[in-house]
Chains A and B, each alone.
Chain A
């Protein structure tokens, strides 16, 4: 069964850091780009970052530029999201999502598999 399982969410103070992880199973992990998509409480979906199948290329939304980074370990079938300088507006459910393509920044990629999400709350 194709599956994504996120972990690492929690409560963090403004300015703090948090690292999310996503464990993948059921597909050839290195053959697909991966993304993180977030959803603030009661709001819509927002794409955050993406990484190519090889891990050599990434790109991100302007809202997290310079603060969030994405990485992957293809030997462990995991993708991670390092979040620094967190702000209240980063409060959201963070979803790990598998893309339909392998390469970096492919305009026609869709997100065909989603994890269950992990909640990140930024508050003092």
Chain B
């Protein structure tokens, strides 16, 4: 049972903007630990998409952006493309569990 909660699914038409929330608590995101985001295409290993709340690794399109406020974080995808259809996970650290924690995951569907 994850301590980071994400919506099970979001969807949008090509070209639209979608946003995925990641809600935590005072022992993880609210403790000012960094939030990272991963994209997992079907049947493939996860790929780091955003790290340190807002930083895109080299090669990640600037259509992807991250933000963080209080006990929550968000991933936004602008100009949605068919290739963005995947599962997305947030990740942080939880001091109460002394563990790295992942969000529940969100499936993005391009209509």
Contacts and interface: CB of A to CB of B under 8 A. Distances in A.
Interface of A: 35, 37, 44-47, 50, 59, 61-62, 95, 100, 105, 107-117
Size category of the B interface is 20 to 34
Interface of B: 2, 33-34, 36, 38, 40, 45-48, 51-52, 57, 89, 91-93, 95, 97-105
Contacts, number: 65
Given A112-B51, A114-B47, A47 B33 contact: no
A110 B34 contact: yes
Nearest to A100: B51
Contacts of B38: 45, 111
Given A105-B98, A107-B95, A108-B93, A45 B36 contact: no
A39 to B, nearest CB: 8
Contacts of A59: 98-99
Nearest to A107: B93
A50 B102 contact: no
B91 A110 contact: yes
A47 B100 CA distance: 6
8 tightest A-B CB contacts, nearest first: A107-B93, A108-B34, A47-B100, A110-B36, A110-B51, A114-B45, A45-B102, A44-B105
